Amino acid sequence: MPPTTPAIPRPALPDAADADPVAPDAAVPLDSHPLDSVPVHAHITDALKSAAFIRLSGSVVLARFETMKVYAALGAVRALLESGRITPGQTLVDSSSGIYALALAMACHRYGLHCHIVASTTVDTVMRAQLEVLGATVEQMPPSQSLRLDQERRVRRVHELLARRPDVHWMRQYHDGVHHTGYREFAERASAALPNGHLTVVGAVGTGASTGGLTTALRERGRAVRLVGVQPFGSVTFGSEGFSDPEAIIAGIGSSIPFGNVRHELYDTVHWLDFRHAMAGTVELLRRHAVFAGLSTGAAHLVARWEEAQERNTTYLVLGADTGHRYTERVFGRHEEAQDPAGLRPERIDSLERLRPPWSVMEWAGRPAPPGAQVADDPHGSAPEPTSAGTRSGDPWTAEKTLWTAGDAR
């Protein structure tokens, strides 16, 4: 008799009660998309714009991207070329933590432009290799546990380059409102994918272009949209710079410097989470739904999970900006440390004076930028005002003029 092969042990499956039910009518027939409707793309950026819409629960849908900022970069470069602000063959430069850098490098590859990236300390060797093979030149900041120092170094270096090379164009993803324009196309795709009715967009706020650009475009289309922003502790954007979260520099979320592209009046609700809570949502997203995504997506997932429990009479759209590859060691390699999201809930607050880690939530109600997030006038100009269709009305800012002293972010 041939030798028997030992059985391979299988991991225990979750109980049926633990699984999120999917309605039978949510399944798509295999023949619903005939082969002749499948596009063949002229460039990879067209394929990357197609988000995968994944139902996480009854009313929560994830828009999962490989690189969501392809909308910001492509829309901005196309608009700049059409307006004559840049010309083919010119060099585009910007600072980035990685996601935007890759999107900009691909946009330059598509439109015959040169690309120079002043990269964050969070850009890993895999990302850097992709950028260099695409033809971008990369300068990376030295290792730092301070987001403030990392960002200030990058911006300072960009100014040095501009002084030496006036022919290059600074993309200014933090401030130039042209980065909002590309999300109009995503708004069309989201509208086609999601049911009619009230919509709640849940997304991490970095530069503000994705959450702000998408929400503005949806509201201009007449859609009733509630916008929920997600922030880390240690970010000036929504007034949490007085706290430190030493475990994390989460790429693409929060900031230690003011961003003109964050239109605070668009936001209805803001959640602040620490690294441990973002990690819990990220690991849960992979464990329960097999979605491998970054920390900002995991944080938004945890927030949407809680929000749905409070109000089910809306569709929740979670923005999944990137994959989880950059967090393999720091998050997924430590998955056994992840907390159970079922036991996590935020502290409701009514002012920034009551803000506390590890998780707080506040009705922002269209307030303007807090003092630390207000952008001073600069010679390059500020972001344009949003249109009336994209503006939220709300109570004026009534907190103290200075709530927290500036300090290292996280």
For the stretch 66-82, pLDDT in tens is: 999 999 999 999 999 99
Confidence at 390, pLDDT banded by 50, 70, 90:
very low
Distance separating the N- and C-terminal Cα atoms of the chain = 63
Residues 21-51 pLDDT 10s: 444 344 444 344 555 678 899 999 999 998 9
Highest mean pLDDT among 39-53, 141-155, 242-256: 39-53
Highest mean pLDDT among 35-44, 136-145, 149-158, 216-225: 216-225
Q: Which of 307, 298, 230 is nearest to 262 (CA)?
A: 230
Residue 252: what pLDDT? 63
Continuous segment of H or E residues that includes residue 227: strand 225-232
> How far apart are the C-alpha atoms of 200 and 311, rounded to whole Å?
10
Average pLDDT over residues 330-342: 96
Q: 115: which strand partners?
A: 92
Residue 150: what pLDDT? 79
Residues 198-236 pLDDT 10s: 999 999 999 999 999 999 999 999 999 999 999 999 999
Residue spans of alpha helices (H) in 290-391: 295-310
Average pLDDT over residues 317-341: 95
**Backbone torsions φ then ψ of 53, nearest 5 degrees:** -90, 120
- The rounded mean pLDDT for the chain is 84
Residue 381 pLDDT > 70, yes or no?
Answer: no
Under 8 Å between Cβ of 370 and 239: yes
> How far apart are the C-alpha atoms of 279 and 302, rounded to whole Å?
9
